[in-house]
Amino acid sequence: MGERESSVATTNRRDIDRRQRERRLPVTLLRTLLWIFFKVFYRARWRYCGRVPPSGPLILAPSHASLYDPPLVNVPIWRRAYFLTRDYYFKFPLGPIIHYLGAFPVDLTRRFDSNAYDQARRILEDGGMLVLFPEGTRTHDGLLGKIQSGVAVLAVETGAAIVPVSVCGTFEAWPRTRLLPRLCRRIEVIYHWPIRVERATDPTARRQKIAEISAQLECVLAPRLRAWQHLLQKTGYKT
């Protein structure tokens, strides 16, 4: 019986590896095309990518100003990424494409989407990388919005590391108020040092850790976005 179970497990592992190889080529091609697109039209720069751990449970926590942000933060990171994405984007024909690329739906009309939360937690417990925006939605003014607790809660419950990511320039390129993006704007993506997190089960310690992590994210992300806005004002740029 043991040999049979071992054989089945080996077969399943081979099937998973085969599917991952089949997925890798088109994803790599798309990543390359996106890199060229952002380099040519936005002179994009990705700084300190080496700070992203190559393995282990990880949450990339970028500032959020634009629909450009999800692909931008993942372009130079050669790890399989998963994204929480608003459920209305999963309508045909876009839905199958973004699902293939690692997105899964979240219902933002609900106070708490348990299905999305459980799937995010499983990804991290399996050692995967999750892209999760701490603000939960796009900014209205290019500055950091209010930090929600989702990133901190998942990190505390899974022990996942958090890499804050400052995404600068996407608000000017494609803010939430525009149907189509502007071209020829400057974009810069900065990966900050990881925040190491330990699991916490005690309710008091858990609440304290969640508050501390949320404060850390704000302290890391907010100054960089303010500095970017100050630079734009100094150079006379108008949105």
Q: Is 2 among the domain residues?
A: no
How many helices (H) and strands (E) are present in the chain, helices listed first?
7, 7
pLDDT at 8: 43
Q: Is 154 among the domain residues?
A: yes
Q: How many whole angstroms separate alpha carbon 184 and alpha carbon 166?
A: 20
Domain count, the chain: 1
Cβ-contact 142, 167 below 8 angstroms: no
Q: How many whole angstroms separate alpha carbon 187 and alpha carbon 193?
A: 20
Q: Is 88 among the domain residues?
A: yes
Range of the domain at 149: 46-234
For residue 163, the domain's CATH number is 3.40.1130.10
| Residue 30 in tokens | 């798309």
Per-residue pLDDT of the chain (239 residues; tens, 9 = 90+): 455 545 544 545 555 454 555 457 788 889 999 999 999 999 999 999 999 999 999 999 999 999 999 999 999 998 999 999 989 888 878 888 888 889 999 998 888 899 999 999 999 999 999 999 999 999 999 999 999 999 999 999 999 999 999 999 999 999 999 999 999 999 999 999 999 999 988 999 999 999 999 999 999 999 999 999 999 988 877 55
Q: Is 66 among the domain residues?
A: yes
The count of C-alpha atoms lying within 13 angstroms of the C-alpha of 158, restricted to the half-sphere facing its C-beta, is 27
For residue 70, give the H/E element and its range.
helix 69-74
Q: Is 100 among the domain residues?
A: yes
